[in-house]
Amino acid sequence: MASNNLAADDSLQKSGTYKPSLVHPVKLQESLESLQKDGHLCDFTLLDTHNVHRVVLAASSPFFEAWFNKSQNASHNDSLAKHPERAVKELVNYIYTSNLMLTSETVDDIHLLGKLLQFPFVVETCKRFSKGSSSTVFSDHSFPKDFLHNLGKLQQAGSLCDVEILVEQCAIKAHRVILAASGDYFRAMFTGGMKECQQSQVELHGLSAQGVSSCIEFIYSSDIELEGVEHAETVLSTACMLQLPLVVELCCEYLKTTLNVNSCMHVASLATLYTLSSLKSAVDRFVFKNFLKFSQTDSFLNLSADEVTSYIDDDRLKVRNELEVFNAVVKWIKQDKKARLKYAKGLMSCVRLPLMYPEELRKEVIVVDFMLEDQGCKALIEEAMMYHSNPYLENKLQNKRTKVRSDNPSVVILGGEAPSDRIGQIMQRLADRSEAAEVYSMLFWEQNAAKDSEWQPLSTPGDIRANHAVAVMDGFLYFAGGYEVPRFLNTVGSVNMAACFRYDPRFDIWLHLAPMKSSRSYFSLLPWKGRLYAIGGSNDRLRTLSSVEAYTTEVDSWELVRSLEEMICYQAACVCNGTMYISGYNDDEFTNHMFTYDPTDGVTYRNPMQYARFLHSMCAVGSTTILTIGGRAQDDSFNQVELYDVTTDTCTMVAPLLQPRSLMGTVVIGNKVYILGGNNGEENEPTDSVQCYNVDKNEWKLVSRLPHGLSGLAACAIHLPWKVRYKEGN
């Protein structure tokens, strides 16, 4: 399972030193080019034509460095004047952009000038071009880094420096144009007509010498060492004042690595003071992850009521149970009960009391004096007790306090048939009942870590099944129909089932529901307008059905509703924008039909798919798009995928599956569609691959593996609480 630990940024060494990168040199060069084009701070003219900056040329070329550091420069000027103006123009462009453009007419002139100015890249590139290179524009990716290195040496030597920055009786030599290129503060100071434009010494008030020195060190080297939190704060405040975003960013990254339960609120105050959303988000994530420990500190007790509310009301709060949240709030109130009791109702409305067991409510909640004395708190207790009074009414009692605390949905797979080489193992497990069903969950949110993530077992609903159906409604997982897995061995008594179950992730328990009126496999189960609809399929006599039945949660019963116009089986279905869509059914033959179903209006046929198929999958992505994926055409699984636009009633082909699949599980999370397992092509054997489709990029990737090959499985995305996702041993 992917780790949620806040790790140190890769750009930070253990010593707190920011490793030099190309980000700052490239941005500095881009800014210098802008200043040169606008004619700002140019202090030299080449060949009476090109306005440039001495220090930029000196840091780029030993030729210019020697020129500008000698009192007599006539020989250098004469040497340069011998070269064509177009070659000089191109190399000025190279200095400010790292790009070199060559043509057959200019290459020889640029080659000679490159030798004079001692530009190895230019010389070698001209040689390659003369030998027949097809390119005409070349980029020197190492130039910005080398330029900054030379710039740092010039600053350290005081060469060509034209300004001294004074702060706390400390003088730092620098170059106006380099400071102006580094950030908006100095750019406005030196190009905006302020008095500092003409001053050789500029004093900065309200800043520390340590902070300014560190910032200027970064400007000239892209390197900075942060020696502890206090130093990082000093540099951060200075960088914010001087408007140096890269320095601000690295200070934030450093502070993120120093977070602990005692210091995190101080870092949060810095984030608020300087409007640093990334740093504030990192603090919040740290608190969410470490809430139990944090709630035991003075920092927590000193929070305002609004700050406490912002944390305990968040789905990302990682706690083992809601009692931990309740106890933290009680402790906070009792810290200054007289002043804080007025916040009790508001705070307790953010504690999810219905997610606590009735025994916890009786033994831990009711015994707290103000919970019954405060009428608002008392009403919250009554709400929680009512929630537990009848499990079949829980769907109608959903609100923010019954919502699972979870940052991202998990992928849950249920049942399915394994490859033939796994049959013996499964039969043994069935015999000793050590594991009655294959139910696994996986977190897919950490996409880059998906291959390394592990599937973890959940509690089981009963016998292993295949070709059943699942649906998620009101935060519950519903599991219905299918047949027992031994059926593929032609075991006597293995028949289609009508049994139904509901999984409650809040308490990790299954509830046995009323059975469907007909046993069904290869059918569809859809949530629609507060009810579940079981559509078509094959019954226990292996007869294809046209019947549809609806489940009402509060009375725990199924009733037959309007039937379909034809018997269907092996179809796929989904709900998109409040409408039930069904495609590709097979009674006597597979078809390319697409239609909508409404228990009042019946069936409405839409334009057909481009490919006839069955045993495929179908899912809605957003409010206007449906994907029909894979399936079988005659005897083989295939990989064709179609995108159906519900607004235009048209199907178009999109990127095919990486591998053919049928009888697979399908899950949608955001703009990604996951195809789990399923039968492969010609062999028609269960597979273990997890293929992921990115809707925005129109591409498939193999992102993970199931515990073993499975087909006829059911899958869904559902929010699981932290206590389930991170069970001891998981």
3-state secondary structure of 465: strand
CB 641 within 8 A of CB 609: no
User: Among residues 307, 311, 404, which one has the least CA distance to residue 354?
Assistant: 404
Please report whether residue 242 resides in a domain. Answer: no
Checking if the pLDDT of 653 tops 50, the result is yes
* CATH (domain of 296): 1.25.40.420
Instruction: Quote the CA–CA distance of 566 and 263 in Å, as a whole number.
Output: 67
Q: Which of 38-52, 206-220, 357-371, 416-430 has the lowest mean pLDDT?
A: 416-430
Which of 389, 420, 454 delimits the end of a domain? 389
Checking if the pLDDT of 93 tops 50, the result is yes
pLDDT tens profile 114-133: 999 999 999 999 999 988 87
Checking if the pLDDT of 499 tops 50, the result is yes
Bridge partners for 557 per DSSP: 552
According to DSSP, residue 585 is labeled: -
pLDDT attached to residue 701:
95
Bridge partners for 544 per DSSP: 538
Instruction: Quote the CA–CA distance of 520 and 545 in Å, as a whole number.
Output: 9
3-state secondary structure of 332: helix
Please report whether residue 615 resides in a domain. Answer: yes
Does 663 lie in the same domain as 634?
yes
Does 361 lie in the same domain as 500?
no
Does 605 lie in the same domain as 565?
yes
Does 495 lie in the same domain as 381?
no
Q: What is the pLDDT of the chain when averaged over all its residues?
A: 89
- Its domain, for residue 372, covers 290-389
Does 556 lie in the same domain as 459?
yes
Residue with tokens 């706390």: 168
Does 492 lie in the same domain as 358?
no
For strands 594-598 and 602-606, give the pairing: antiparallel
Please report whether residue 551 resides in a domain. Answer: yes
For strands 617-621 and 625-629, give the pairing: antiparallel
Residues in the chain: 730
| pLDDT interval class at 515 (50, 70, 90) | very high
700 or 458, greater pLDDT: 700
CA distances from 712 to 136, 628, 644 (A): 57, 17, 24
Q: Give mean pLDDT, residues 74-78.
A: 67
User: Among residues 196, 243, 181, which one has the least CA distance to residue 215?
Assistant: 243
pLDDT attached to residue 308:
98
Q: Give mean pLDDT, residues 251-258.
A: 95
Does 510 lie in the same domain as 364?
no
Instruction: Quote the CA–CA distance of 522 and 465 in Å, as a whole number.
Output: 12
Checking if the pLDDT of 708 tops 80, the result is yes
Q: Give mean pLDDT, residues 625-647.
A: 92
* Cβ-proximal residues to 390 (8 Å cutoff; 6+ apart), any chain: none
Indicate left, alpha or beta for 547 from its phi (over 0: left) and psi (-120 to 50: alpha): beta
pLDDT attached to residue 438:
44
| pLDDT interval class at 456 (50, 70, 90) | confident
pLDDT attached to residue 636:
75
Phi then psi for 721, rounded to 5 degrees?
A: -70, 160
Checking if the pLDDT of 730 tops 90, the result is no
Instruction: Quote the CA–CA distance of 348 and 252 in Å, as a whole number.
Output: 34
Please report whether residue 703 resides in a domain. Answer: yes
CB 494 within 8 A of CB 464: no
| pLDDT interval class at 74 (50, 70, 90) | low
Phi then psi for 546, rounded to 5 degrees?
A: -110, -5
Please report whether residue 33 resides in a domain. Answer: no
2 or 179, greater pLDDT: 179
User: Among residues 320, 240, 314, 327, which one has the least CA distance to residue 283?
Assistant: 314
* DSSP labels, 271-319: HHHTT-HHHHHHHHHHHHHTHHHHTTSHHHHTS-HHHHHHHHT-TT---
According to DSSP, residue 364 is labeled: I
Q: Please name the helix (run of DSSP H) or strand (run of DSSP E) that holds residue 85, with its range, or none.
A: helix 85-97
| pLDDT interval class at 420 (50, 70, 90) | low
| pLDDT interval class at 136 (50, 70, 90) | confident
Phi then psi for 237, rounded to 5 degrees?
A: -60, -40
Q: Which amino acid does the sequence have at 590? A: F
CA distances from 582 to 565, 566, 573, 607 (A): 13, 12, 4, 12
Does 635 lie in the same domain as 557?
yes
Checking if the pLDDT of 434 tops 50, the result is no
Q: Give mean pLDDT, residues 472-479.
A: 97
Instruction: Quote the CA–CA distance of 291 and 285 in Å, as a whole number.
Output: 10
Instruction: Quote the CA–CA distance of 54 and 45 in Å, as a whole number.
Output: 9
CB 539 within 8 A of CB 533: no
Please report whether residue 280 resides in a domain. Answer: no
Does 353 lie in the same domain as 416?
no
* DSSP labels, 377-429: HHHHHHHHHHHTT-GGGGGGG-SGGGS---SS-EEEEE--BPPGGGHHHHHHH
Please tell me the total count of domains within the chain.
Answer: 2
Does 677 lie in the same domain as 639?
yes
Distance of CA 582 to the CA centre of its chain: 32
What is the share, in percent, of the chain residues with pLDDT greater than 90? 76
Checking if the pLDDT of 1 tops 50, the result is no
pLDDT attached to residue 135:
74
Instruction: Quote the CA–CA distance of 482 and 503 in Å, as a whole number.
Output: 17
Checking if the pLDDT of 446 tops 70, the result is no
Phi then psi for 661, rounded to 5 degrees?
A: -150, 145
Please report whether residue 396 resides in a domain. Answer: no
Q: Give mean pLDDT, residues 436-451.
A: 43
CB 370 within 8 A of CB 341: yes
Q: Give mean pLDDT, residues 420-441.
A: 49
Q: Give mean pLDDT, residues 667-694.
A: 92
User: Among residues 290, 351, 291, 295, which one has the least CA distance to residue 323?
Assistant: 351
Spell out a b/e string for 305-315, using b for 16 or more CB atoms within 10 Å of the CB, else e.
beebbebbbbe
Checking if the pLDDT of 445 tops 50, the result is no
CA distances from 213 to 170, 172, 235, 360, 667 (A): 9, 7, 9, 58, 54
What are the strands, taking DSSP E only, across 156-278? 163-167, 170-174, 201-203, 224-225
Instruction: Tell me the longest C-alpha to C-alpha distance in the chain.
Output: 105
Checking if the pLDDT of 14 tops 60, the result is no
Q: Which of 337-341, 402-406, 423-427, 678-682 has the lowest mean pLDDT?
A: 423-427
pLDDT attached to residue 19:
59
| pLDDT interval class at 88 (50, 70, 90) | very high
pLDDT attached to residue 11:
42
* CATH (domain of 444): 2.120.10.80
Instruction: Quote the CA–CA distance of 689 and 614 in Å, as a whole number.
Output: 20
Angle, CA 424 vertex, CA 421 and CA 429 arms, to 5°: 130
Residue with tokens 């295949």: 466
* Cβ-proximal residues to 422 (8 Å cutoff; 6+ apart), any chain: 708, 709
Q: Give mean pLDDT, residues 37-52.
A: 92
Does 429 lie in the same domain as 483?
yes
pLDDT attached to residue 541:
83
Query: Tokens in use for 108?
Result: 């020889």
> Radius of gyration over alpha carbons of the chain, in Å?
34
Spell out a b/e string for 338-360, using b for 16 or more CB atoms within 10 Å of the CB, else e.
eebeebbbebbbbbbbbbbeeeb
pLDDT attached to residue 491:
45
pLDDT attached to residue 439:
54
Checking if the pLDDT of 392 tops 80, the result is yes
pLDDT attached to residue 485:
64
Checking if the pLDDT of 511 tops 60, the result is yes
* Cβ-proximal residues to 554 (8 Å cutoff; 6+ apart), any chain: 392, 393, 395, 396
Instruction: Quote the CA–CA distance of 30 and 40 in Å, as a whole number.
Output: 14
What are the strands, taking DSSP E only, across 439-513? 439-443, 456-457, 465-466, 469-473, 476-480, 483-484, 500-504, 509-513
Please report whether residue 58 resides in a domain. Answer: no
For strands 163-167 and 201-203, give the pairing: parallel
Strand order, beta sheet including 509-513: 469-473, 476-480, 500-504, 509-513
| pLDDT interval class at 459 (50, 70, 90) | confident
Q: Give mean pLDDT, residues 588-602.
A: 92
Distance of CA 270 to the CA centre of its chain: 25
pTM: 0.85
Which of 389, 424, 457 delimits the end of a domain? 389
User: Among residues 617, 627, 669, which one has the least CA distance to residue 408?
Assistant: 669
| pLDDT interval class at 4 (50, 70, 90) | very low
Name the CA dihedral angle for 515, 520, 522, 523, rounded to a multiple of 10 degrees: -60
Checking if the pLDDT of 45 tops 80, the result is yes
pLDDT attached to residue 698:
98
Instruction: Quote the CA–CA distance of 36 and 96 in Å, as a whole number.
Output: 8
Q: Give mean pLDDT, residues 672-690.
A: 91
Checking if the pLDDT of 186 tops 60, the result is yes
Query: Tokens in use for 311?
Result: 């944390």
pLDDT attached to residue 131:
86
Does 715 lie in the same domain as 635?
yes
How would you write 196-213 as a 3-class SS string? Answer: HHCCCEEECCCCCHHHHH
pLDDT tens profile 201-249: 999 999 999 999 999 999 999 998 898 899 999 999 999 999 999 999 9
438 or 306, greater pLDDT: 306
Q: Which amino acid does the sequence have at 225? A: E
CB 459 within 8 A of CB 504: no
Bridge partners for 99 per DSSP: 139
